[in-house]
Structure 1
Amino acid sequence: MDSQVMREPRVLIFIHSLHGGGAERVAADLSAQWAQSGWQVSLVTQADAQDDAYALHPAVQRKILHTAGGGGGLRGIWANVRRVRALRRVLRDFQPDIVLGMMTTASVLAVMAARGLPCKVIATEHTHPPSQTLSGLWQRLRRVTYPHAASVVALTRGTADWLAQHVPGCKLAVIPNPVHWPLSRAEPVQMPPPAEGRRRLLAVGRLHPDKGFDLLIQAFASVAGQHPDWDLIILGEGTERARLQAQADAAGLQARVAMPGRVGNVGDWYESADLYVLTSRFEGLSNTLLESLASGLAAVCFDCDTGPREVVREGIDGVLVRPNGDVPAMAAALTKLMSDDAARQALARHAIEARERFSIQRVLGLWQQLFDDVRGQEK
């Protein structure tokens, strides 16, 4: 047992795909850091590598199960049986000390596949569960399997509290996502247009109802007349594009609201902005909020159930708007900072402290402590 604890762990990360998203990026980042440290690391996906959005470190072993898809009903149940069997074969072959399930379904399957094997499974939740679209079957499987995991990691204390109440019996830990500084650049590269004396309010995220960009456009529309030199930019892509564009057009803001799409050089857009805004109805731990603070932007955020309140230090580097979803309250907070350069700059000076508060070194230290604790548990 002592020799097992002393040597570096063999880690297997299981995730549906690397096709893009916050958890997928964290999986690629963590695997790279651990591989650079000399650990044996394998990353296993159900989907193939054809549409990968993130490159893996060359020392990370990549394994593809080819088990994506499957449908619902009996076909879905049989597909999950196949996934568990396929993953169990990989576990027997790679013989990891620790299996890290990334997100709910991967975590559930990992616990099932590892049953009776000597490895320890760590489940993770990367979104706040009330915002998930999760079938009743998967919710029941989470309640049954998570208590058998060596640990369940939440990104925020709010999510950990939810799990403690709704998935009793879990051994819980809270580890945030790291922020990488300087920010990476990737395709597609689209440079922000010259400011030409105008100010920019920036929001970043999927064009999805959870992100509350409809509320943001309402709030901006109510203050745009008072701040004719400010424009709103919403970076990202998604199913709500047409509806949001129609909303901006109906408010007469065609020339003041821009949605350039998804960009791989978001750091250039943070640098060109004057204020960051987050109007999510639900959040896990917002990577874009971390990035904006690290870039030296003050942040105005709805105080949703989890996320911003564990990142933003009220009155130090940003503003938390209550109650969540209150458009007039958001408009008031925005107009206060949009009209006060000194207050905005004072918050921005402290915002860059996020580089240290959420540094990769600090987050890796939390993971190392968890791994040590998990490997020290009785078999």
Structure 2
Amino acid sequence: MHIAFLLYNAYGIGGTIRSTVNLSGALAAAGHTVEIVSVHRTRDDLRLELRPGVRTRALVECRRDAPGYDGGHPRTAEPTGMWEDSGVSNGPLAPTRLTDERVAEYLRRTEADVVIGTRPVINGYLERYGRSRYLRVGQEHLTHDFHNPRLREDQKAAFAGLDALVTVSEADAVRYREMLPGADTRVLCIPNAVPAVPVSPSEGDSKTIVAAGRLIPVKRYDRLVRAFAKVAAERPDWTLRLYGRGPRAASLRSLIDELGLYNRVRLMGAVTPIETEWAKGAVAAVSSDGESFGMTIVEAMHCGVPVVSTDCPLGPGEIITHGRDGLLVPLDGGEDAFAEALLQLIDDDERRRAMGRAARETARAYDPERIAARYIRLMEELGAARRRGPARRLRGALAGYRAWRGSRRGPVDSADSGAPAPRARAAATADGSVAVRLATADLPDAPLELVLRLRKDPGERQVVLPLPAGRDATDGWIEVVLRRSEHRLPEGRWDLYTAPRGTARRRRVRAELVEQAALVTLEPRVDENGVSAWVPYTTSEGNLSVRTWLRPAHAEVEHVEVGEEAVVVTVVVHGAVPGPDAVVLAASREDADRDFTAAVRPLAGSRFTVSLPYAGALARRSAEHDLWDLRLLPAPGAEPVPIGRIGGDSADRRKTDVYPAVELPHPGRGTTRIRPYVTFRNELALSARDIEPPGDA
């Protein structure tokens, strides 16, 4: 069969897109012709990896610098003739008359045997402009009750004209059957496809709670943060990470600061693939008021992480078996009940690990191959019903599809075009080494080397590791380990390449997966070479690199407290011993005459705390924006020791380790905003910035 998925915008990483990519890959692997059709194209490439055999196309070009850009098309100024879909109608990609025409043309000309719609407006187009020569299947990725009354009525009319409606929960299927009495449309539940990504499962000992999803009101991350505040009061060694982006980011940041949790709760931004981050957690948390399905629940389960979730409509209760693979918390219990559930798993190591093992078993039911088999069975049954009715047959379409591609509108991508860059899966090991696995399918049949080059290095320093021969591959992958015990990597960013042995013909290595879970609780390494840390990571271009630190001594930040009169920093010193006259130097980036110091107070072991009064910075202000780097001077005349956070799993903490600001009056510069912040070297600094022009205070 030729199966087409019609998405509004396939160039993101939301749940509908992820589930479509997962299902389309499994259908292609089962021998079907599959295409993902995006109404809009907003990026050069999809952000998610497609499996072989899945093709993409787009109908409306939204990239301003691309040939055929449709932004100036006169039809974009004309209103759509389709009913309003509140999820997109008020956004930057709101439907227009051009949208109507392009979708209608596609649905008129496609040679697909089955077209699957993925959101309300798409299902409306599918009913209005679709053809009886192919099966028309609508998907409901939200819930009936999520939509406003007007949209429910519009969808009701659309669904009645389709061959089938697929919901992602059984409860919602029941609701839609009640809504469509007497309709010929077949209504059933097939949950989302969620693959098991080849990530090592969580060990369950990271003392980290992980949550992921769009930062929107229904997810109720405010409930989770408030619940964690209660957890933090009793278990001060646990932390919370929130992954995702959305309109509630600023309000969540304010709540975190208000509750004094900025050392313990981090907004991590959007990360893909997310499974590497689930594997860093000991507990996963879902705090929503409603979930149509709960892909994040299954993703976390695949990684061996038990889930604490609100027992909200509709999905969580159909996925989680309370007490076996997770805990369900009544919605009316609020943040207190959620905190209590988190503490149950935090305080019982064996129960937490047993639930993690059970979660992996539960997640197997959502493997894409199993979900694809259910879709194939549905399509076969719908096709058989048609053949028993009026003589309308499904058409085999590959030749017609190719002919149509030659006259299509809009840009086309091919998942299998061009020579791929070498794919790599990297993983940090327990001792901080980096294991790199390369896909042999992407490598030439010749002796090869893995080359690490220090970025922007005048000396062009590099490390060369011979790669095993392809015949030594395991499941199509060869592995080489960059061992901490064998290599001393100077501080910086090391980019990875493959090259034929003995040549300079390098090819950049693309990161498919980078596992950092082993680093979450790992301290910087101290040996005869100094203090060091390595973090493998994916660059913004999708390539594999390793961030390294190497210095004679280092002061690792444990805690930062932003008070009313001073910022107090607690650190542990590696590679040096602070003496009785040790101070912290705030070194001005503009003028050494504006430096100032503060005495340290020793704590147990090699730890100390220091209080940096804001008055010291205010008295030395000289520009619109003044900056001071913080350094430890272990003794008078000693070399300065950087203060920062290089341990753990983060190559760049600037956006995740964020501290609140204090606003204070300055006699000559108006109001000053003072804030401790993390630099691009993961070091701690102090910022003082004008927020009112002088004379306007």
Query: What TM bracket, shorter-length normalisation?
Result: 0.7 to 0.9
Letter of the aligned partner of 1:151 in structure 2? A
Over the aligned positions, Cα root-mean-square deviation in angstroms equals: 2.8
Q: Is 1:209 matched with 2:217?
A: yes
Q: Is the 8 A contact 2:11 2:41 kept in 1?
A: no
CA distance in 1, matches of 2:60, 2:149: 22
CA distance in 1, matches of 2:198, 2:334: 32
Match of 2:430 in 1: none
Match of 1:313 in 2: 321
Match of 1:15 in 2: 7
The alpha-carbon deviation at position 270 of structure 1 amounts to 1.9
Q: Is the 8 A contact 1:198 1:231 kept in 2?
A: no
Greater Cα shift, 32-41 or 220-229: 32-41
Secondary structure (helix, strand or coil) at the match of 2:142 reads coil
Among 79, 83, 96, the residue aligned to 1:75: 79
Correspondence list, 1:22-37, <5 A: 22-37=15-30
CA distance in 2, matches of 1:72, 1:156: 36
* Change over 3 Å in CA distance of 1:101–1:287 after alignment to 2: same
Q: Is 1:357 matched with 2:365?
A: yes
Letter of the aligned partner of 1:219 in structure 2? A
CA distance in 1, matches of 2:229, 2:307: 19
CA distance in 1, matches of 2:77, 2:315: 34
* Change over 3 Å in CA distance of 1:49–1:260 after alignment to 2: closer
Greater Cα shift, 89-98 or 241-250: 89-98
Q: Is the 8 A contact 1:42 1:60 kept in 2?
A: yes
The alpha-carbon deviation at position 257 of structure 1 amounts to 0.8
Q: Is the 8 A contact 1:41 1:60 kept in 2?
A: yes
Q: Is 1:337 matched with 2:342?
A: no
Q: Is the 8 A contact 1:14 1:100 kept in 2?
A: yes
Q: Is the 8 A contact 1:97 1:118 kept in 2?
A: yes
CA distance in 2, matches of 1:162, 1:71: 38
CA distance in 1, matches of 2:248, 2:114: 39
Q: Is the 8 A contact 2:25 2:51 kept in 1?
A: yes
Match of 2:140 in 1: 125
Superimposed CA distance per residue, residues 95-138 of structure 1 (whole angstroms, 9 cap, x where no aligned partner): 222111112211121121114x3111000001123334x582x4
* Change over 3 Å in CA distance of 1:240–1:103 after alignment to 2: same
* Change over 3 Å in CA distance of 1:61–1:344 after alignment to 2: closer
Among 253, 262, 269, the residue aligned to 1:261: 269
Match of 2:125 in 1: 109
Letter of the aligned partner of 1:28 in structure 2? V
The alpha-carbon deviation at position 80 of structure 1 amounts to 6.3
CA distance in 1, matches of 2:114, 2:168: 19
Letter of the aligned partner of 1:143 in structure 2? K
CA distance in 1, matches of 2:130, 2:137: 11
CA distance in 2, matches of 1:270, 1:315: 20
Match of 2:158 in 1: 145
Correspondence list, 1:210-225, <5 A: 210-225=218-233
Q: Is 1:162 matched with 2:175?
A: yes
Letter of the aligned partner of 1:148 in structure 2? G
Letter of the aligned partner of 1:11 in structure 2? I
Secondary structure (helix, strand or coil) at the match of 2:241 reads strand
Q: Is the 8 A contact 2:76 2:97 kept in 1?
A: no
Secondary structure (helix, strand or coil) at the match of 1:352 reads helix
Secondary structure (helix, strand or coil) at the match of 1:281 reads coil
Superimposed CA distance per residue, residues 32-84 of structure 1 (whole angstroms, 9 cap, x where no aligned partner): 33233332223222102525323445643433221889999971327666545
Correspondence list, 1:33-44, <5 A: 33-44=26-37
- Higher helix proportion, which one? 1
Greater gyration radius: 2
* Change over 3 Å in CA distance of 1:358–1:253 after alignment to 2: same
Match of 1:4 in 2: none
CA distance in 1, matches of 2:75, 2:250: 29
Q: Is 1:94 matched with 2:110?
A: yes
* Change over 3 Å in CA distance of 1:348–1:41 after alignment to 2: closer
Secondary structure (helix, strand or coil) at the match of 2:300 reads helix
* Change over 3 Å in CA distance of 1:61–1:253 after alignment to 2: closer
- The unaligned stretches of length 5 or more in structure 2 are 63-70, 83-94, 391-697
CA distance in 1, matches of 2:4, 2:273: 30
Match of 1:53 in 2: 47
TM-score, normalised to structure 1, is 0.86
Secondary structure (helix, strand or coil) at the match of 1:180 reads coil
* Change over 3 Å in CA distance of 1:214–1:361 after alignment to 2: same
Secondary structure (helix, strand or coil) at the match of 2:256 reads helix
CA distance in 1, matches of 2:343, 2:325: 17
CA distance in 1, matches of 2:356, 2:222: 26
CA distance in 2, matches of 1:62, 1:274: 37
Q: Is the 8 A contact 1:41 1:61 kept in 2?
A: yes
Q: Is 1:63 matched with 2:57?
A: yes
TM-score, normalised to structure 2, is 0.48
Match of 1:189 in 2: none
Secondary structure (helix, strand or coil) at the match of 1:95 reads coil
- The unaligned stretches of length 5 or more in structure 1 are 1-8, 185-194
Greater Cα shift, 66-75 or 334-343: 66-75
Superimposed CA distance per residue, residues 185-233 of structure 1 (whole angstroms, 9 cap, x where no aligned partner): xxxxxxxxxx9x8611111111111111000011111221111111111
Letter of the aligned partner of 2:117 in structure 1? G
Correspondence list, 1:268-283, <5 A: 268-283=276-291
Letter of the aligned partner of 2:16 in structure 1? A
Secondary structure (helix, strand or coil) at the match of 1:276 reads strand
Q: Percent identity?
A: 25
The alpha-carbon deviation at position 19 of structure 1 amounts to 2.1
Q: Is the 8 A contact 1:215 1:325 kept in 2?
A: no
CA distance in 1, matches of 2:346, 2:27: 42
Letter of the aligned partner of 2:378 in structure 1? L
Letter of the aligned partner of 2:4 in structure 1? L
Match of 1:237 in 2: 245
What is the total number of aligned residue pairs between the two structures?
359
The alpha-carbon deviation at position 281 of structure 1 amounts to 0.9
The alpha-carbon deviation at position 31 of structure 1 amounts to 2.4
CA distance in 2, matches of 1:291, 1:363: 15
CA distance in 2, matches of 1:206, 1:163: 26
The alpha-carbon deviation at position 340 of structure 1 amounts to 1.5
CA distance in 2, matches of 1:291, 1:218: 24
* Change over 3 Å in CA distance of 1:201–1:149 after alignment to 2: same
Superimposed CA distance per residue, residues 211-261 of structure 1 (whole angstroms, 9 cap, x where no aligned partner): 110000111112211111111111111111111111111111111111111
Letter of the aligned partner of 1:48 in structure 2? R
Superimposed CA distance per residue, residues 262-307 of structure 1 (whole angstroms, 9 cap, x where no aligned partner): 1124223222211111101111211111011111111110000101
Superimposed CA distance per residue, residues 303-323 of structure 1 (whole angstroms, 9 cap, x where no aligned partner): 001011111011111111113
* Change over 3 Å in CA distance of 1:260–1:62 after alignment to 2: closer
* Change over 3 Å in CA distance of 1:174–1:247 after alignment to 2: same
